[in-house]
Amino acid sequence: MSPTDDSRLAGLTSWDSDWSGLRVVVTGIGKTGFSIADTLAELGARVVVVAASDDAAAEQAAETLKIVGVDEVLLGAESSLDLPLVGGEPAELVVTSPGLPPAHPLLVAAQQSGIPIWGDVELAWRVRQRAGRKTADWITITGTNGKTTTTTMVAAILQQSGLQAIAAGNIGTPILDAIRDPNGYDALAVELSSFQLHWTESVSPVASVCLNLAEDHVDWHGSFEAYAADKAKIYQHTQKACVYNAEQIETERMVEAADVVEGCRAVGFSTGTPAVSMVGVVEGLLVDRAFIAERRDSAVELAKISDIGDLVPRHLVANAAAAAALTRAYGVAVPAVKAGLLAYDNGAHRIQAVAQQDGVLWVNDSKATNPHAASASLAAFKPVVWIAGGDAKGVGYDELVQAHAGRLKTVVLIGADSSALRAALQRHAPNVPVIAPDPGETGGVQQTEAVPNGTQAEPRSLPGDAVMAWAVKSAAGVATEGDTVLLAPAAASIDQFSSYAHRGDAFIDAVRGLLEGAGNK
């Protein structure tokens, strides 16, 4: 198999470039993979799609793609392992969905054959310019946690400033769908995962941010160092402002190492008093010391922290400060920042107050799918009855438990295998009671006695809704006035639930059912 003609790919820098006949293999047939294949077919490329999925949804998507001009769709686990020919000839390019790790056999085969690999974001950047349509500016956001919140805030602020803007990328709307919108946009708030950044080289945003960095997705990247290196790519080629977390030196070092456009500024954000060229907080006010002429000796008020919402933990303040810095770098006027934060909808499953009864606050943060996110939630409350556990994704829990042992009243374990979290609790919070399902019960889920950590049996794998109903009932049994019952799993949901949203909905349903039942007694 001969290497790709790099000169042709280098010339593909707009929608109107000559994409005709380009032989492309697309991996995945979910929302992102579908958008990739659909776009390439519209551009005139020859496309073969491979996907491990072969369920009804995949088959329906395959039929639709064939109608719009995709050459071939290969479904099933076996089909996705080998790099197929396109029209009987070797592929010239692979465009991959972000979930497929670099070590996947198909991607390894492409690399060994000298075939370039792009992600959907790289393709979107290359086709963003199109004759007769406006070209949207990009503001890019990544980080271990807070990406979706910050991206949503950025989009709200841009919209309140009068711009046609949308949140896209990892947040739910595929970036290629946003690019192809017939009406076009002035600006895009683009959430980028480390998976997407891994396959991205050319993107040149107006402003960019890495909100924070903590161990996550080590199983996909192979090491924390590789994960961090991919996160750092967010700053490459930034035009106006690289926004960094002034409270985490790693993000500032990423900016220092980045190859940016001449004249690009480094702008910090903080939840404390900002230094010059930062956005931060003073006496309950979000203030700007970066984008005003008098920044050396004064600051301008952007919004009140209370404008963000009723329940505003520190990490949500940090997200707002980052969003303000990004949009101010873009050129948004001061009033639009406040208007955007007022219009911002935090949505479900992110520090969501579900109920308060008999002095106990019930909070759903199912979106806390890793230890760093759970740490931010735990830091906002004390004392906490903590519902946690799930698919650990290869990360550890020692730092998380060490940091918050003093605020834990009881831990209720969920998850098919909570051994890693349980071990960390044994090491660093041995006196905190732990509740887990009784593996001896077969007729349903029953609460076991809350005892000091170390003597409780490991939980068995149970259906998600039943597990959550049990966990909520268990938490209610120990929570008293002044406590917060917090669902912040510090783990992915896929071992017992279909998604973090399903997990959060199960928590909400269980809490409301339990409290309404108690109120009727």
Residues tagged in the binding site annotation for ATP:
143-149
Residue type, 68: V
* HSE-CB for 465 with a 13 A CA cutoff: 4
Count of all residues that appear for the chain in the document: 521
216-239 core/surface letters (b: 16 or more CB in 10 A; e: else): bbbebbeeeebbbbbbbbbbbbbb
Closest among 260, 155, 268, 157 to 210, alpha carbons compared: 268
* HSE-CB for 432 with a 13 A CA cutoff: 26
| H helix intervals, 70-213 | 105-112, 120-127, 147-160, 175-179, 194-198
Helix (H, G, I), strand (E, B) or coil at 203: coil
Closest among 157, 159, 209, 199 to 175, alpha carbons compared: 199
The rounded distance, in Å, linking the Cα atoms of 341 and 324 is 9
Helix (H) or strand (E) holding 388: strand 384-388
Would you list which residues are annotated within the binding site?
A: 143-149
The rounded distance, in Å, linking the Cα atoms of 364 and 361 is 10
Integer CA distances (angstroms), 459 to 130, 448, 490, in order = 55, 10, 17
Tokens 């702008």 belong to 267
Structure letter (DSSP) for residue 234: G
Establish whether the linkage from the previous residue to 101 is cis, with ω within 30° of 0: no
Residue type, 348: A
The rounded distance, in Å, linking the Cα atoms of 422 and 411 is 9
Torsion of CA 421, 422, 425, 431, to 10 degrees: 150
